[in-house]
Amino acid sequence: MSLTDQLKITIRDVQGYPKPGIVFKDITPVLANPSLMRKVIAHMVGCYRDKSIDAVAAIEARGFILGAILAHELGCSFIPVRKTGKLPYTTKSQRYDLEYGSAEIEMHTDAVRPGSRVLIHDDLLATGGTAAAAGRLVKTFGGEIAGFSFLINLSFLPGSNVIEDEFGLKPDFLVKY
């Protein structure tokens, strides 16, 4: 069975979360399966091992899980991208739209060194707003976007097009719904 097929039967749908009409893709069953996690990480690392990644910027909260492992395996730094007010040092923020509202993310002002190659990672690509906002922050600090990595792509939403149109990069993902 392919890795994509294994993930599709493992990822759990939760109806009506975080609000009615939304089908939440719950990755906790994947996280609970060490064998499947090893395969996911091996695949993701393989996509970026030869791309000279200097940092992985991962988006709160579920993006932190695989993002930190990716940074470790790629031998690069980890940059937390958080909701406003959650980081303790001087930050810069970026507003964005979600599939069910709007929000704002921030990053420490010293997180990205000018010229560094940064991989943006989150668990799920939907409208592309969060990932694009993270990409804009990286570029604000003089970083270069090395790629966009996701576990899941909700292809019925415009996220891939948003990323490709704004950054000229095709996002990587393992599962498409």
Of the residues 12, 82, 95, 99, only one is catalytic, namely 99
* pLDDT per position as a tens digit, 21-43: 989 999 999 999 999 999 999 99
Axis-axis angle for helices 3-10, 34-48 (nearest 10): 130
- Grade residue 19 by pLDDT with cuts at 50, 70 and 90: confident
Q: How many CB atoms lie within 10 A of CB 158?
A: 16
Domain of 66 in residue numbering reads as 50-176
Element (H, E) at 150: strand 144-153
11 inside domain: no
Residue 9 belongs to some domain of the structure: no
Residue 153 lies in a domain: yes
Residue 144 among the catalytic residues: no
Note whether residue 34 is domain-resident.
no
Residue 97, pLDDT above cutoff 90: no
Place of tokens 């922050």: 137
Q: Which two tokens stand for residue 116?
A: 């560094």
Domain CATH number, residue 91: 3.40.50.2020
Residue 100 — pLDDT band, cuts 50, 70, 90? low
Is residue 62 annotated as part of the catalytic site, yes or no? Answer: yes
Residue 18 pLDDT: 87
Residue 38 in any domain: the answer is no
Asked if residue 64 is part of any domain, the answer here is: yes
40: in domain: no
The total of structural domains in the chain comes to: 1
The H or E element that residue 104 is part of is strand 101-108
Catalytic one of 38, 49, 60, 62: 62
Q: Assign 49 a pLDDT band (cuts: 50, 70, 90).
A: very high
- pTM recorded for the entire structure: 0.94
Residue 166 pLDDT grade (very low, low, confident, very high; cuts 50, 70, 90): very high
Structural domain contains residue 22? no
Site of tokens 């089908």: 23
pLDDT in tens, 111-155: 999 999 999 999 999 999 999 999 999 999 999 999 999 999 999
